[in-house]
Structure 1
Amino acid sequence: MMANILLVDDHPVVREGYRRLLERQPGFTVVAEAATAAEAYRLYKAQRPDLVILDLSLPGPSGIEAIRHIRQWDGAARILVFSMRTGAAIARQAFAAGASGYVSKASAPRELLEASAGVLRGERAMSADIALAIAQDEVAGGRSSLDELSPREVEILGMTAAGATAQTIAEALCLGLKTVQNNLSLIRAKLGARTDAHLVWIAVGAGLVAAPHGPPAAET
């Protein structure tokens, strides 16, 4: 199997490790690396790789935004998420945005390689822990609060929960400030959130962002 790969992760040392692992496979070549969603989109258009392997946790717009933009430009793009996030809700959001596979970083290296090959064959691929999380969630009949949100709203929620202001989000996503503010109002209404602190803890509970250090901020 011959495949050109774009790696997207904001840690250069981590990317180097992935590059070495992937390029030990006959036919796998890493042709470009990106550290942000914007770089990933630009390099995808420039390189047209056969496979994108990306983390969801990126500075500024997240991997969800990168997936959405790449798939809007190329509906046939093959994208494999490789992330520390293992919740069923965030995995479903990644698939809804257009990901073809999802592997957790806690997985054995062979699972990344097997998922990469599966996605290149046109299959939907998941590591065992992600498949189990989704299966358990479906058996329990559980619905995440994120299921009520569109991919754009999930992106805005994630950036808000990570501490970005509405103005910063507007600039990063090339949206008007009023549009972001309106989206935040809709998000609060859909999630029943009373304050931004409440939004943060909803996002943490859904696995969208990591829990902040220290006790939660007091709600007003």
Structure 2
Amino acid sequence: MLSARLRVMLVDDHAVVRTGYQRLLELAGDMVVVAEHADADAAYAALARSAPGEPGVDVVVLDLSMPGRSGLDLLRRAVQRWPQVRWLVFTMHDSPAMVGQALRAGADGFVTKGSEPDELVRCLRRVAAGERRVLSADVAGAIREPAAELPHLALSPREFDVLRLLVQGCALPEIATRLHLSPKTVSNLQTQIRARLGVTTAVELLRYAHQHRLIVP
């Protein structure tokens, strides 16, 4: 899979952050940023425009929280269509829920933005070389917590996306629009989420989210 230089796509909604990533990665000498996008839909569309069987990218470095579709949704949609592409999440969020959901959605690695710059470069190389479950040091133990004690870890990636937006205060019609779902589907998912987490009201749901660090801007 490896070319002379690793071809990297950056997906993050902050232009200044993308510029910083690009400089950092290209200073490493063995990688080049071939594309950058501000949202998941643009990244997916760019991959879809590539030649069949040749996406032109070795590793996608992506944030999880972006306008519109989340990084989790991009992972779900893309990993099976482009199995040769490797995926490294690079985000400010370090909760066990975020790590677990990203890995379940298909991420090959997870690095927090609080990590040292060299750690991002090292993890990117490891992911490109075919390693799985590559984690930055600050989250390496996060997914070892017993899932039975953390009911939110049993949520599907789609349920987790809905939960993420619910605790941000989004109304059901807005969630439906942002996730490209029907309002009825979102309503059903909300019911399932509350049942899985053992809560019955919006206040209880928000309290649960704060307790387990599930609030994602």
Q: Would the TM-score normalized by the shorter structure come out above 0.5?
A: yes
What pairs up with 1:47-196 in 2 under 5 angstroms?
Answer: 47=50, 48=55, 49-124=57-132, 125-135=134-144, 137=145, 143-196=149-202
Partner of 2:140: helix, strand, or coil? helix
Deviation at 1:142, TM superposition (A): 6.7
Deviation at 1:129, TM superposition (A): 0.8
Cα distance change of structure 1 residues 131 and 180 upon mapping to structure 2, 3 Å threshold: same
Match in the other structure for 1:209: 215
Any stretches of 5+ residues in structure 2 without a counterpart?
Answer: none
1:79-113 deviation digits (Å, cap 9, x = unpaired): 10111111122101100000000011111111100
Given the alignment of the two structures, is residue 7 of structure 1 paired with residue 10 of structure 2, yes or no?
A: yes
Distance in structure 1 (CA, Å) of the matches to 2:214 and 2:85 = 24
Match in the other structure for 1:218: none
Distance in structure 1 (CA, Å) of the matches to 2:189 and 2:65 = 21
Q: Structure 1 stretch 43-52 or stretch 10-19: which is displaced more? A: 43-52
Distance in structure 1 (CA, Å) of the matches to 2:148 and 2:12 = 31
One-letter amino acid of the structure 2 residue matched with residue 10 of structure 1: D
Q: Structure 1 stretch 18-27 or stretch 111-120: which is displaced more? A: 18-27
Among all aligned residue pairs of Structure 1 and Structure 2, give the percentage whose two residues are the same amino acid.
41
Match in the other structure for 2:40: 37
Distance in structure 2 (CA, Å) of the matches to 1:142 and 1:176 = 31
Cα distance change of structure 1 residues 4 and 175 upon mapping to structure 2, 3 Å threshold: same
Scaled by the length of structure 2, what TM-score is found?
Answer: 0.88
Deviation at 1:173, TM superposition (A): 2.0
Cα distance change of structure 1 residues 143 and 99 upon mapping to structure 2, 3 Å threshold: farther
Scaled by the length of structure 1, what TM-score is found?
Answer: 0.87
Any stretches of 5+ residues in structure 1 without a counterpart?
Answer: 212-220
Is the Cα contact below 8 Å between 1:3 and 1:28 reproduced in 2? Answer: yes
Query: How many residues of Structure 1 are paired with residues of Structure 2 in the alignment?
Result: 208
Deviation at 1:147, TM superposition (A): 1.7
What pairs up with 1:9-24 in 2 under 5 angstroms?
Answer: 9-24=12-27
CA RMSD of aligned residues (A): 1.9
Match in the other structure for 1:215: none
One-letter amino acid of the structure 2 residue matched with residue 208 of structure 1: L
Is the Cα contact below 8 Å between 2:119 and 2:136 reproduced in 1? Answer: yes
Q: Stretches of 4+ moved more than 6 A in 1?
A: none
Deviation at 1:60, TM superposition (A): 2.6
